[in-house]
């Protein structure tokens, strides 16, 4: 395993290229269960026919786990959006169409969205009353069993040279409601400071999916609380202020 070609550095993760293989290496303090869960999710998604990098191997080297997958040539949608003459409208359309196409799939053995969210609400830094309200709100939300990526954002999509999109990073995948997945993507644009992008995204998602904005908005406090257990202090405060300002069910 050659680790001299770094592609991306993240908090507690580094992504390397070794020929036609991609190595996602996790820091020693990263939960082994989380690494295995990410690899398992990705393998399950591979079986649905959605285009994802094929998992080749799981490795543990000096206490550091790594997922080895096929390296995908191309540019991420984020890179394409950042290019000087980017056609943002067309790219956003493609982005939304792709997310909706994922929501057409089922994957019965994938983790359940509501189970994940209940666990994340339980872990988040809110008082017991607030958490109780969020658990109740979640309980009342409609149940669905469609594949949701859970971290659907432009940096997680590679457009290959033949134009086919390949979707990365399935650590947050679950089977659940597409409206919750859309609420998550909306919040991700916000957290990235892309407020206009967030509005454009939501308008387009609702127009194309037939899901109303009100239905997506109902998921926002739940999704914000669930997301707050990840990320830095500033993000956490922002997400929790979002939760606190929401109406109670
Ligand atoms: N199989 C692959 N082929 C080519 N590039 C890859 C592959 N996997 C990851 N990358 C590159 O590494 C970057 C980070 O990978 P990935 O999204 O899996 O990690 P992450 O820690 O979850 O990142 P983020 O939090 O930004 O989503 C991607 O945006 C992409 O540029
Ligand atoms: Mg990613």
Q: What's the whole-number mean pLDDT along residues 170-195?
A: 96
The domain 75-244 is placed in CATH, from the list 1.20.120.80, 3.30.70.20, 3.20.20.70, 3.90.1200.10, at 3.90.1200.10
Q: Judge whether residue 37 has pLDDT over 80.
A: yes
Pocket test for ligand 1, best of 14, 78, 80, 156 (most atoms within 8 A of CB): 156
Helix (H, G, I), strand (E, B) or coil at 7: strand
Centroid of ligand 2 to alpha carbon of 157 (angstroms): 8
Domain 6-70, CATH:
3.30.200.20
pLDDT confidence tier of residue 247, bands split at 50, 70 and 90? low
Mean pLDDT, rounded, for 73-102: 97
| Local confidence band at 49 (pLDDT 50, 70, 90 cut-offs) | very high
Query: CA nearest 105: which of 202, 54, 170, 55?
Result: 170
The reply to whether ligand 1 has any atom less than 6 angstroms from the CB of 169 is yes
Confidence tier at 48 by pLDDT (50, 70, 90): very high
What is the predicted pLDDT for the residue at 235? 85
Question: pTM for the full model?
Answer: 0.95
Ligand 1 pocket residue status of 53, Cβ below 6 Å: yes
Q: How far is CA 227 from the centre of its chain?
A: 10
Residue owning tokens 């543990």: 60
Tell me how far the alpha carbon of residue 156 lies from the centroid of ligand 1, in angstroms. 6
**What is the tens place of the pLDDT at every residue in 146-155?**
999 999 999 9
Q: Is 230 in the pocket of ligand 1 (CB under 6 A)?
A: no
pLDDT above 70 (res 103): yes
**What confidence score (pLDDT) does residue 4 get?**
81
HEC readout, 18-57: ECCEEEEEECCCCCHHHHHHHHHHHHHHHCCCCCCCCEEE
Classified as helix, coil or strand, 187 is: helix
Question: Is the CB of 24 inside a 6 Å radius of any atom of ligand 1?
Answer: yes
Q: What residue ranges do the domains of the chain occupy?
A: 6-70, 75-244
Query: In this predicted structure, what is the pLDDT of residue 116?
Result: 97
Tell me which residue has tokens 């300002």.
245
| pLDDT of residue 230 exceeding 90 | no
């Amino acid at each position: 395993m050659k680790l001299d070609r770094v592609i991306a550095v993240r908090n507690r993760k580094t992504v390397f290229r070794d020929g036609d293989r991609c190595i996602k290496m996790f820091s020693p303090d990263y939960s082994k269960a989380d690494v295995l869960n990410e690899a398992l999710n990705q393998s399950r998604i591979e079986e649905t026919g959605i285009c994802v990098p094929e998992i080749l191997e799981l490795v543990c080297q000096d206490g550091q786990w790594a997922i080895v997958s096929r390296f995908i040539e191309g540019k991420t949608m984020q890179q394409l959006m950042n290019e000087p003459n980017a056609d943002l409208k067309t790219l956003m359309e493609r982005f939304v169409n792709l997310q909706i196409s994922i929501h057409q799939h089922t994957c019965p053995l994938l983790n359940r969205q509501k189970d994940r969210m209940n666990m994340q609400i339980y872990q988040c830094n809110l008082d017991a009353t607030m958490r109780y309200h969020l658990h109740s709100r979640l309980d009342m939300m409609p149940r669905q069993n469609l594949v949701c990526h859970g971290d659907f954002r432009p940096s997680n999509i590679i457009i290959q040279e033949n134009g086919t999109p390949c979707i990365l990073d399935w650590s947050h995948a679950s089977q659940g409601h597409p409206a919750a997945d859309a609420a998550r993507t909306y919040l991700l644009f916000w957290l990235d400071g892309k407020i206009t992008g967030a509005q454009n995204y939501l308008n387009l998602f609702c127009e194309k999916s037939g899901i109303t904005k009100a239905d997506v908005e109902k998921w926002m406090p739940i999704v914000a609380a669930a997301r707050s257990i990840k990320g830095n202090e500033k993000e956490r405060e922002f997400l929790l202020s979002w939760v606190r300002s929401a109406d109670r069910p």
